[in-house]
Amino acid sequence: MRALDRAAAPAAVAVLAVLTVGAGVVAARAGSRPAVELPFLPVPGGGLGVAVDGLSAVLVVTVCVVGLAVTVVAGADDEVRAAPARFFAWWLTFVVAMLLTVTATTVPALLLGWEVMGATSAALIAFRWRSPATVHAASTAFLTTRAADTGLYVAAGALLAGSGGLALGDVARLDQPWAAVAATGVVVAALGKSAQLPFSGWLSGAMLGPTPVSAMLHSATMVAAGGYLLLRLSDALTGAAGGVVAWAGAGTAVVLGTVALAQRDLKQLLAASTAAQLGLVVLAAGAGATTGGAEHLVGHAVVKAGLFVAAGAWLSALGTRRLDGLRGAARRTPALGAATLVAGAALAGVPPLVLWVTKDEIVADVEVSPVPGAGALHVLALVATALAAAYAGKVLGVVVRSPAPGDRLDTDRLDTDRPGTRHVPARAVVVAAALAAASVALGALALPLPRPRRPARHRPA
């Protein structure tokens, strides 16, 4: 068992490195991307079908790159090192389940990835299973998302009844009343997975899991999955469904943005901000701004992963995640502080960083959207972006302030082998800097992603 524990972290990094290279190769082959379907149910689209198109190619690369970055950091995490073989077994299953989710072309494949992702996320949140608090938090997350997930089964039944098959692409071509039933099921499942109102409560407790789990959960995997599904099936969000999605996203962006601004715990602030930022993705999906939504999903994954890496490093070094205990942390760890300043500025929407570009596109598209109440939604989107600037500014204002007298951190040595007090893991600094650089690069490139087709709005509610 000790041999497995020693090999677990390097093996996980190697697996993610191979997946990242493969994802890059697949994404680059725009004209000949793979598609496969394994037999499962004897109906059209009833197999385990996966394929890579423009949208899924972007998400596959994002999941693998962010997953590799966080995996490198996870190997140095104090909690993970208590049982690394168990942790990385769940971890790799979690990442692969997300990859299956974003490449699924049939309902059986989507449900397989969706359900495995939910189960492994609960196992990772409850990694310290002897703690009643973490087990309770994992149970809350699992039960809340599972309750919402029943919507996917309702949608699957409506799809089968209305089309005779289970191909995801047929959801947008259903006739009434099956179109309304399927859209409702998809919306409920997606809102639950992405911690949107009224399902947002589970996300706060999930912060009791190891920080690498929080980083992955909030950036490129589970919480992002609901937003991805709505973008993928945005053609089905016509009439009332599009309005419900848009208003749910806008409401979550404002309410959870306000919650984030009130937080005094760094991880809780980042958690609430995740739901708020995913609210903008959900708003974009409902309003037909699918390009901006996809871009924001990618940009947010990079930015939020970097911020969670910094939060974990400071928790390891200073033994606290409370903002009042992190005063001057950026000054005491200059390299990590610089990376955090860039990521925080990106979260605030400072130009020319990546989230400035994506928020601007979402806000502009919502203003001219045909969804009911587009003018009010536009105002709410502007309020959400202002709140993002406020809560990101709150974090940066604390970490760049002068440290309290007598409170010093020894930064002469960045030690990954001595866990705990007063040392920042070197790999965390490197990963945070790389993710910060990515947010700069993506902003400079203005995220030239493949543009998904805007949903038709001619079908009556």
Q: What is the pLDDT along the chain (461 residues), one digit of tens a residue?
A: 688 888 999 999 999 999 999 999 988 875 666 788 888 888 999 999 999 988 899 999 999 999 999 999 998 888 898 899 999 999 999 999 999 999 999 999 999 999 999 999 999 999 999 889 999 999 999 999 999 999 999 999 999 999 999 999 999 999 999 999 999 999 999 999 999 999 999 999 999 999 999 999 989 999 999 999 999 999 998 888 999 999 999 999 999 999 999 999 999 999 999 999 999 999 999 999 999 999 999 999 999 999 999 999 988 888 888 898 899 888 888 999 999 999 999 999 998 899 999 999 999 999 999 898 999 999 999 999 999 999 999 999 999 987 666 554 444 333 333 344 457 888 999 999 999 999 999 988 764 445 444 444 444 44
Task: Report residue 443 CA to chain centroid gap.
Answer: 19
Residue that has been written with the tokens 């598209």 in this structure: 365
Is the residue at 456 inside a domain? no
pTM score, whole prediction: 0.91
Is the residue at 322 inside a domain? yes
Number of domains in the chain: 1
E strand segments, 244-366: none
Structural domain range at position 335: 2-445
What's the distance, Cα to Cα, between the start and end of the chain in Å?
58
Dist. CA 1–CA 43, nearest whole Å: 45
Is the residue at 232 inside a domain? yes
Is the residue at 455 inside a domain? no
Quick one: the chain helix, strand, coil %, rounded to 5? 70, 5, 25
Is the residue at 457 inside a domain? no
Dist. CA 78–CA 428, nearest whole Å: 13
Is the residue at 239 inside a domain? yes
Is the residue at 461 inside a domain? no
Is the residue at 68 inside a domain? yes
